[in-house]
């Protein structure tokens, strides 16, 4: 009758247990670090986190003073977004800083330079010039929208210099445009837009409701429409 080699079995068992002890925490950590969009409130400010490259939402207005948020999903190469931008810039002042506008990138796949423009805006934002850069991208849209890579890059650098009044770090700006952090931020925004099924750009949301301002023809019409939607909400916050 053969005798069992209990020593070998014991050693083999110890190796398996040790391996499992090392592997299971790794697998759990990997699972925990997966993006779950249900963890976020899309109707409010989303701060820096590992999934957006540690780059929080860009905001027009004072996010700390605001009682109400409008969320804009837009594309710097979108002509409608460029037209709406002048109105959007005025929203905080029109509501005495009680309303802030959160901007999220939603780049249309057919816009050849849309992602590059979003990268330029986010890179400028890392140095505190997001709003100024965004305004220049919109106002100069016709000049860069069909430019090749080299021309586009030179234009974006020139806009950054203007946006920062020549105080920005150009080398950092160029590096940040292609950084993983900026890529993550744009991807994070896009995933939120896909999650809530944003139909196109520009799209404005208030408490999860897409605002249909298509009937407004003038700036006065647009802000009259917004006041009808927002004023009751502001009264509730008093």
HEC profile of 17-77 = HHHHHHHHHHHHHHHHCCCCHHHCCCCCCCCCCHHHCCCCCEEECCCCCCCEEEEEEECCC
Dihedrals phi, psi of 39, to nearest 5 degrees? -80, -10
CA angle 171, 175, 179 (to 5 degrees): 160
Query: CA-to-CA distance for 86 and 176, rounded, in angstroms?
Result: 27
Q: Does domain 40-236 have CATH number 3.40.30.10?
A: yes
Query: CA-to-CA distance for 207 and 125, rounded, in angstroms?
Result: 25
Domain boundaries, the chain: 6-34, 40-236
Answer whether 121's CB lies under 8 Å from 134's CB.
yes
pTM of the model: 0.86
**Residue 32: what pLDDT?**
54
- Is the four-CA dihedral 37, 41, 44, 46 of positive or negative sign? negative
Name the DSSP class of 101: E
pLDDT tens per residue across all 238 residues of the chain = 444 455 544 455 455 444 444 444 444 444 457 999 999 999 999 999 999 999 999 999 999 999 999 999 999 999 999 999 999 999 999 999 999 999 999 999 999 999 999 999 999 999 999 999 999 999 999 999 999 999 999 999 999 999 999 999 999 999 999 999 999 999 999 999 999 999 999 999 999 999 999 999 999 999 999 999 999 999 998 7
């Amino acid at each position: 009758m053969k005798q069992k080699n209990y020593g070998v079995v014991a050693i083999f068992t110890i190796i398996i247990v040790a391996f499992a002890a090392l592997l299971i925490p790794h697998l759990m950590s990997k699972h925990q670090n997966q993006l779950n969009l249900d963890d976020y409130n899309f109707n409010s400010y989303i701060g820096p986190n590992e999934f957006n490259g540690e780059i929080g939402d860009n905001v027009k207005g004072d996010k700390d003073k605001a009682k109400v948020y409008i969320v804009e999903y837009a594309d710097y190469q979108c002509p409608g977004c460029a037209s709406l931008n002048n109105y959007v810039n005025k929203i905080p002042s029109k509501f005495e800083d009680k309303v802030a506008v959160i901007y999220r990138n939603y780049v249309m796949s057919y816009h050849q330079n849309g992602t590059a423009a979003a990268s330029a805006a986010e890179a400028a934002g890392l140095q505190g010039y997001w709003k100024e850069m965004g305004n220049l991208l919109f106002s100069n849209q016709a000049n860069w929208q069909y430019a090749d890579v080299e021309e586009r890059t030179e234009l974006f650098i020139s806009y950054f210099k203007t946006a920062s009044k020549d105080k920005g770090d150009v080398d950092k700006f160029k590096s940040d445009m292609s950084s993983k952090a900026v890529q993550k931020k744009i991807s994070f925004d896009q995933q939120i837009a896909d999650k809530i099924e944003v139909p196109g750009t520009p799209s404005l949301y208030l408490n999860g409701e897409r605002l249909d301002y298509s009937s407004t023809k003038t700036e006065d019409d647009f802000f009259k429409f917004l006041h009808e939607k927002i004023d009751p909400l502001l009264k509730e916050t008093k």
